Amino acid sequence: MTEAEARETAKTLMLMAASELAVGRLYMACAKADDDRREVWERIAGAERNHAKWIEAMAGMLLARNGEGFRIGRKFEPKAVEAFTDEVRKNEADVQTGAIKGRVMYMIARGIEAALLEDRFFEFVATEDEEYKKLVTRIVTETRQHQTLMQAWVKAAGA
């Protein structure tokens, strides 16, 4: 990856980190709206904040190495990340006003976890860098766990 590509890729990763923070804020709103699952929502929100930190670290790795040892695997559109983040923010506002609650809230969270862009990190940036790959694996593993949990909540709520 060239230095210029590394800079552009790092910018996209920073958009992804911002998206993770938005998801974390949504889940904190869900915690306030769902007393029965408050602690779990808060824990998941914390995980999303960790994902953002890890993604920021990944961007830092690209920049520190000027792209050396990294390849662009698949083009990732920043506009898609921004649109995803905008939708998450809208959902957060709707949870805060009570327009979204209960089963619908769980379904939205399940959909977010299913769609989260981090599931495709291995395609976005290709590398043999073990530190980078370890962060990606942690994010993907946790996202799958969150998705499974949300699926269980949807089923328990009568779907």
Domains of the chain: 3-156 (1.20.1260)
Residue 82: the pLDDT is 93
Which burial class, exposed, middle or buried, applies to 98 when counting CB atoms under 10 A from its CB (0-12, 13-18, 19+)?
exposed
Single pTM value for the model: 0.90
Alpha-carbon gap, residue 154 to 22, rounded angstroms: 22
Q: Report residue 131 as tokens.
A: 């530190």
Residue 158: the pLDDT is 80
Q: Report residue 89 as tokens.
A: 């923010």
Kindly state the average pLDDT of the residues 70-98. Answer: 91
Q: Which of 59, 55, 72, 73 is nearest to 10 (CA)?
A: 59
Residue 140 has pLDDT above 90, yes or no: no
Residue 22: the pLDDT is 97
Residue 118 has pLDDT above 60, yes or no: no
pLDDT band at 154 (very low <50, low <70, confident <90, very high): confident
pLDDT band at 159 (very low <50, low <70, confident <90, very high): low
Strand partners, 127: 70
User: Are 22 and 51 spatial neighbours (Cβ–Cβ below 8 Å)?
Assistant: no
**Which residue do the tokens 């690209």 mark?**
62
Alpha-carbon gap, residue 39 to 22, rounded angstroms: 18
Kindly state the average pLDDT of the residues 49-57. Answer: 96
